[in-house]
Amino acid sequence: MKELMLYLWNANHHYAHQLLEAIPEEKMADQPAGLPNHPAWTIAHLSISGNYLLIPALGGKPLDLPGWDQKYGYGSKPSNDRSLYPAKTELLHVYDEVHRIVADGIQNSFDNIVGVVTPDEGMRSYFPTLDKMVAYMTSIHEANHLGQLSDWRRAMGMKSVL
């Protein structure tokens, strides 16, 4: 199971970089009609989700990202104000670091969380066990947001990367 999760996690990481490569800095917070989840918010959101949920679940120490949870976490709203987001290089650096830490956690700690009840009662109704949470967040959650980013690219007149 962990080999499959690592494969999907790494494939999502590669796909994110393909999607972001040709997007200029000044377009990172553009919101074409009907697509509010722009690249800057999407990558920040995926980073904070991995940092907040996955790293602790896998026994790791989250990155120090003050204010990111409120700005980009669950329930946050994307804004077209580019100044509210870090530079593209910083966003990618944090995203890459979260991906590295989570991959290490899956490799080294996943077997230890199989069947372990999710300690956060609010999260437990969605993810009864930590292994289910990690499986969902490393595949469905990440891929869903990358699909939105792919739609954003098309709405911006950019070609598909696949």
Query: What is the rounded distance in angstroms from the CA atom of residue 29 to the CA atom of residue 25?
Result: 9
pLDDT value at residue 37:
97
Determine if the pTM surpasses 0.75: yes
pLDDT value at residue 31:
97
Q: pLDDT tens digits, residue range 5-34?
A: 999 999 999 999 999 999 999 999 999 999
The residue whose two tokens read 């896998």 is 58
**Considering only CA atoms, which of 117, 134, 124 is closest in space to residue 53?**
134
Please measure the distance between the N-terminal and C-terminal CA atoms of the chain and give it in whole angstroms.
26
| pLDDT of 81 higher than 90 | yes
Rounded (10°) CA dihedral 59, 87, 78, 84:
110
| pLDDT of 162 higher than 90 | no
High-pLDDT (> 70) share of the chain, %: 100
| Identity of residue 156 | M
If you average pLDDT over residues 129-146, what whole number do you get?
96
Confidence class for position 1, pLDDT limits 50, 70, 90: confident
- List alpha helices for the chain, DSSP H: 2-20, 39-49, 55-57, 68-72, 88-113, 121-124, 130-136, 142-155
